[in-house]
Structure formats: C-alpha cells, structure tokens
C-alpha cells in the first residue's frame, strides 16, 4: 500500500518519527487481511481479537516529509493461536527503509489465547 508522508508524521527535522512506522505497519497488515476477505470488525463482534505480542523493527534509512512510501506485509508463520507478519517499507525507488516483524495472538473477549478461526487461517495461507 502507498503511504504519503505528511508533516504530522515527522519530527522537528522533517524525518518520519520512528513510532509512526508501527502505524504504517498496522495499516499494511489490515489491508493485507482485507484483500483476503477478512473483516476484523466482524470477528471482534464474535469475540475474537488479535493483539500484538512481539515486535521487532529494523530502521535502515530515514523517510522525509512528502515522500511516497510502499508498505508490503506478508505472513511468515502461522500457528493455531498466532500469526507472524513481516512488513517491508520501501522508498519510491525501492530502497528498504524499515523492516518490521510482528507477531499477533488471537484472544477471546476475556483476553485469553484461543484458536484462530479456521476461515482466517485458510485465508492467510492463500
């Protein structure tokens, strides 16, 4: 997905503030799921939530105000209760700026780990 960097995304040096990359990764994962027909809001209503349990980010190069970035997410591991994603954020010229590895756990409305619904697991491996 394309992400335009706005002034609000930057620090006082017009460099993207490091924590904003987490937001970009979240958007990319959400679009990844949406493209596979997974509507998280409908699963939330059924009592399934996905929470971040692990995050590793490698910052390789900065992005600046008005840059156009590309964020691409893909599944790297799927278990019965968790799914791991890698998100690569690149510049317009294809230079890798940031790589994030995020693991999400499926939990019920009480916050206890539970199995990922079968239809979600199937959609994730397509």
Q: Which of 9, 11, 54, 70 is catalytic?
A: 11
- Centroid of chain to Cα 38: 14
| 3 half-sphere exposure, CB direction, 13 A CA radius | 27
DSSP collapsed to 3 states, 25-49: HHHHHHHHHHHCCCCHHHHHHCCCE
70 is catalytic: no
Do 71 and 25 meet the contact criterion of CB atoms below 8 Å apart?
Answer: yes
Burial of 70 from C-beta contacts in 10 A (0-12 / 13-18 / 19+):
middle
Q: How far apart are CA 40 and CA 114, in angstroms?
A: 15
End-to-end CA distance of the chain: 19
Where in the sequence numbering do the catalytic residues fall?
Answer: 11
């Amino acid at each position: 997905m394309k992400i335009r960097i706005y002034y609000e995304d930057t620090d006082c040096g017009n460099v993207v503030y490091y924590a904003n990359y987490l937001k970009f990764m979240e958007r990319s994962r959400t679009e990844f799921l949406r493209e596979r027909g997974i509507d998280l809001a409908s699963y939330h209503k059924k009592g399934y939530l996905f929470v971040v349990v692990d995050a590793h980010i490698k910052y390789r190069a900065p992005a600046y105000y008005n840059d156009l970035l590309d964020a691409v997410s893909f599944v790297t591991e799927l278990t019965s209760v968790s799914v791991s994603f890698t998100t690569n954020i690149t510049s317009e010229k294809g230079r890798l700026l940031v790589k994030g590895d995020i693991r999400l756990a499926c939990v019920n409305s009480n916050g206890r780990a539970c199995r990922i619904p079968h239809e979600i697991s199937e959609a994730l491996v397509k």
